């Protein structure tokens, strides 16, 4: 439904040129929710604006619903944009229009008749649960309600695609949850393809099917969400994941960690379980089969869509040969083992 | 006060109101579109035309920089061509309008500049044409700021119209100068000043009321 090929965007030229986007390739199939995650300044905003040509790419091709967007005349581009809804971090509602009239705006722009507009806006407000607010002004609404109005407005022209530009970043966690739920319902009920950009892993985790990681204008990783949360392939991906899971060893332990193993040291490892490994009592088997004791420092279980993800930071207590055997054993059971360092035991 | 004096004051008040009304309406009719043009032709705006923008900006600045008293005299031939005379309230309305146009334009441009760029972006994402963005987003959303600007303009026109009196324009300024100053009649001077003050207060209150009504923020 959305296909970006070799999309680059450069601002300015010569020495002052800023390469906001470098050869980005992205495909979002029909009916999927695709997230693009990255830090601020990574190029997320530019990327999503290249889809509806709010930013015109310097080079590359943008195909939405089979149409090459970069080659459309301005009239054809406006028609194409009717099929692409967009919502924003700061909602961008018109302050001088009521909720009803805000939702009606895209239909007015398309030149629809009053009667047709009324028939369309009613059900939309119903869907986002704001029928009773139809005659209020945006200033009277909460952030979550404003975003609901914006969603209704974006859906008014019956788009095939919905672009979400940090749609929940200005909202509190609870409101974020309800907006994400609404987006998921829309995706399921209307089959609308959603491309969203965010810096919050929570957003990706709760509604995306697939995720891309953007860094310094480049898409560095592209994976199914379950895969990304269990086995990110890049360093940045791991950083995002650890940040999200907040599973970093205690500070006091980090200070004692050394990179090299010695005779009286024990490895501290981060174990990532996914799939069947989660439900297998591996730790107790480890003690029995390898003679290694496991001291658990931190542990967490997350469910990511249909997958379960277990994370643990643990110290393996045994002789170097035993701990080595233990790690091999764990790896053979599809666990990811990452040695964070070694600590000296104060015996 | 004699009834002749009263009639003089009444006539002068009506003359002032007439000049302010005519120049206020005409300068808005021209200044509003000019202000919108100044805004939308800026670089990176919806109708970005940097050269045209520069040209409009320079012309506007010239209009703003000429002192009103000089403008009034300088355009006498133009005024005469337009209304057939260079004295009287119709003649005075010409320089008042000319002076107020760039004033209105800059205030409108400023009001548009206050809007969040996100509004235009949202409208573009909906497939709005530049004309639709101007009519359905920019002007309605900025109407509070535009009202504020027009109120400032009308108040300024009241004081400019008093200056127009100095060159035979009629109105309260003219009355104050001729009777109050030249004929040493402090009562007339005081009355004209009081009427001007009341008039300005009235316009300001009306403007504030309209701004409140149109602003939903």
Interface confidence, given as ipTM, is 0.86
Q: Where does the pLDDT of residue A280 fall: very low under 50, low under 70, confident under 90, or very high at 90 and above?
A: confident
- Kindly state the DSSP code that residue A258 receives in the 8-state scheme: B
Residues from chain A that touch B116, judged by Cβ atoms under 8 A, are 90, 92
Residues of A engaging B, defined by a Cβ cutoff of 8 Å: 52, 54, 74, 77-82, 84-86, 88, 90, 92, 94-97, 105-106, 108-110, 137-139, 153, 157, 163
B217 and A CB contact within 8 Å: yes
Residues from chain A that touch B129, judged by Cβ atoms under 8 A, are 74, 78
Q: At what angle do helices B186-214 and B3-40 cross, to 10 degrees?
A: 40
The pLDDT, as a whole number, for residue B10 is 93
pTM reported for the whole predicted model: 0.85
The pLDDT, as a whole number, for residue B81 is 94
Instruction: Quickly list H helices, A156-260.
Output: 173-190, 201-207, 225-230, 235-245, 251-256
pLDDT: is A90 or A277 the higher one?
A: A90
- Tell which of A50, A105, A107, A141 to mutate to test the B interface (max B CBs under 10 Å): A105
Relative to beta strand A336-344, strand A265-274 is antiparallel
Q: At what angle do helices A282-290 and A320-332 cross, to 10 degrees?
A: 140
- Tell which of A46, A64, A83, A92 to mutate to test the B interface (max B CBs under 10 Å): A92
Q: Where does the pLDDT of residue A75 fall: very low under 50, low under 70, confident under 90, or very high at 90 and above?
A: very high
Nearest by CB to residue B125, choosing from A54, A79, A96, is: A54
- Which range is least confidently modeled, A295-299, B61-65, B156-160, B189-193? A295-299
Give how far Cα A79 sits from Cα of A1, A94, A115, B126, B136, Å: 17, 22, 21, 9, 18
- Which range is least confidently modeled, A303-307, B178-182, B211-215? A303-307
Rounded to whole angstroms, how far apart are CA atoms A181 and A151? 12
In this complex, do B140 and A96 lie within 8 Å of one another by their Cβ atoms?
Answer: yes
Nearest by CB to residue A105, choosing from B126, B129, B215, is: B126
Percent of chain B with pLDDT over 90: 74
| Residue A266 CA, distance from chain mean position | 36
Listed by number, the residues of chain B in 50-79 with a beta carbon closer than 8 Å to a beta carbon of chain A are none
Rounded to whole angstroms, how far apart are CA atoms B101 and A96? 26
Res B1 pLDDT > 70: no
> Nearest CA to B123 among B46, B47, B50?
B46
- Kindly state the DSSP code that residue A262 receives in the 8-state scheme: -
In this complex, do A78 and B128 lie within 8 Å of one another by their Cβ atoms?
Answer: yes
The pLDDT, as a whole number, for residue A274 is 77
Res A345 pLDDT > 90: no
**Pair of tokens at residue A100:** 């009803």
Rounded to whole angstroms, how far apart are CA atoms A164 and A48? 8
Q: Where does the pLDDT of residue B66 fall: very low under 50, low under 70, confident under 90, or very high at 90 and above?
A: very high
Q: Tokens 């002007």 appear where?
A: B139
Torsion of CA B145, B150, B156, B158, to 10 degrees: -150
Cα B33-B37-B41 angle, rounded to 5 deg: 170
For A92, which residue in chain B has the nearest alpha carbon?
B119
**Pair of tokens at residue B143:** 């109407």
Q: At what angle do helices A143-155 and A114-127 cross, to 10 degrees?
A: 130
Cα B80-B84-B85 angle, rounded to 5 deg: 65
Residues from chain A that touch B128, judged by Cβ atoms under 8 A, are 78, 109
The pLDDT, as a whole number, for residue A76 is 95
- Tell which of A94, A112, A117 to mutate to test the B interface (max B CBs under 10 Å): A94
B140 and A CB contact within 8 Å: yes
Relative to beta strand A67-68, strand A84-87 is unpaired
**DSSP secondary structure, A115-168, as one string:** HHHHHHHHHHHHHTT-GGGTTS-GGGS-HHHHHHHHHHHHHTT--SEEEEESTT
Listed by number, the residues of chain B in 196-215 with a beta carbon closer than 8 Å to a beta carbon of chain A are 214-215
Res A152 pLDDT > 80: yes
Each residue's pLDDT tens digit, A168-208: 999 999 999 999 999 999 999 999 999 999 999 999 999 99
| Residue A127 CA, distance from chain mean position | 24
- Tell which of B44, B127, B147 to mutate to test the A interface (max A CBs under 10 Å): B127
B48 and A CB contact within 8 Å: no
- Which range is least confidently modeled, A131-140, A258-267, B69-78, B143-152? A258-267
Closest chain A C-alpha to B207 CA, distance in angstroms = 18
**Pair of tokens at residue A68:** 């090459």
């Amino acid at each position: 439904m959305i296909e970006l090929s070799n999309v680059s965007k450069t601002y300015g030229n010569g020495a002052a040129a800023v390469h906001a986007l470098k050869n980005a390739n992205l495909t979002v199939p029909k009916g999927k929710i695709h997230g693009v995650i990255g830090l601020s300044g990574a190029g997320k905003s530019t990327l999503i604006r290249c889809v509806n040509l709010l930013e015109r790419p310097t080079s590359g091709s943008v195909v939405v619903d089979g149409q090459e967007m970069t080659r459309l005349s301005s009239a054809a581009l406006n028609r194409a944009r009717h099929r692409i809804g967009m919502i924003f971090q700061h909602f961008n509602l018109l302050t001088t229009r009521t909720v009803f009239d805000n939702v009606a705006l895209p239909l007015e722009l398309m030149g629809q008749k009053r009667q047709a507009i009324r028939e369309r806006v009613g059900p939309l407000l119903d869907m986002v649960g704001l029928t009773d607010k139809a005659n209020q002004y945006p200033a009277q609404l909460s952030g979550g309600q404003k975003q609901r109005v914006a969603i209704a407005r974006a859906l008014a022209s019956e788009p095939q695609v919905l672009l979400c530009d940090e749609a929940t970043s200005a909202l509190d966690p609870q409101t974020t949850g309800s907006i994400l739920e609404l987006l998921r319902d829309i995706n399921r009920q209307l089959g609308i393809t959603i491309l969203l950009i965010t810096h919050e892993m929570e957003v990706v985790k709760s509604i995306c099917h697939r995720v891309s990681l953007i860094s310094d204008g480049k898409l560095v990783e592209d994976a199914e969400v379950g895969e990304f949360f269990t086995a990110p392939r890049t360093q940045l991906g791991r950083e995002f994941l650890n940040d999200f899971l907040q599973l970093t060893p205690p500070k006091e332990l980090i200070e004692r960690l050394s990179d090299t193993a010695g005779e009286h040291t024990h490895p501290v490892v981060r174990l990532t379980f996914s799939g069947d490994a989660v439900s297998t009592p591996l730790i107790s088997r480890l003690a029995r089969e390898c003679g290694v004791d496991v001291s658990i420092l931190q542990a967490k279980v997350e469910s990511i869509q249909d997958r379960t993800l277990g994370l643990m930071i643990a110290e393996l207590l045994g002789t170097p040969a035993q701990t080595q055997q233990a790690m091999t054993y764990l790896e053979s059971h599809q666990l990811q083992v990452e040695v964070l360092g070694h600590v000296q035991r104060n015996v | 006060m004699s009834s002749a004096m009263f009639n003089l004051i009444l006539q002068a008040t009506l003359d002032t109101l007439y000049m302010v009304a005519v120049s206020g309406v005409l300068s808005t009719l021209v200044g509003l579109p000019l202000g919108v043009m100044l805004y939308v032709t800026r670089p990176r705006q919806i109708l970005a035309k940097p050269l045209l923008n520069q040209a409009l900006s320079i012309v506007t600045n010239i209009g703003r920089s000429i002192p009103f008293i000089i403008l009034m005299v300088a355009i006498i031939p133009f005024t005469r061509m337009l209304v057939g005379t260079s004295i009287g309230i119709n003649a005075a309305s010409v320089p008042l309008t000319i002076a107020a146009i760039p004033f209105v334009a800059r205030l409108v441009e400023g009001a548009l500049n206050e809007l969040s760029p996100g509004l235009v972006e949202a409208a573009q994402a909906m497939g709005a044409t530049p004309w639709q963005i101007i009519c359905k987003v920019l002007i309605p959303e900025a109407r509070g700021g535009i009202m504020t600007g027009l109120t400032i303009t009308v108040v300024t026109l009241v004081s400019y119209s008093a200056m127009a009196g100095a060159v035979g324009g009629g109105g309260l300024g003219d009355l104050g100068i001729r009777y109050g100053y030249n004929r040493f009649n402090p009562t007339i001077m005081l009355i004209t000043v009081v009427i001007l003050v009341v008039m300005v207060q009235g316009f300001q209150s009306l403007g504030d009321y309209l701004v409140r009504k149109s602003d939903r923020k």
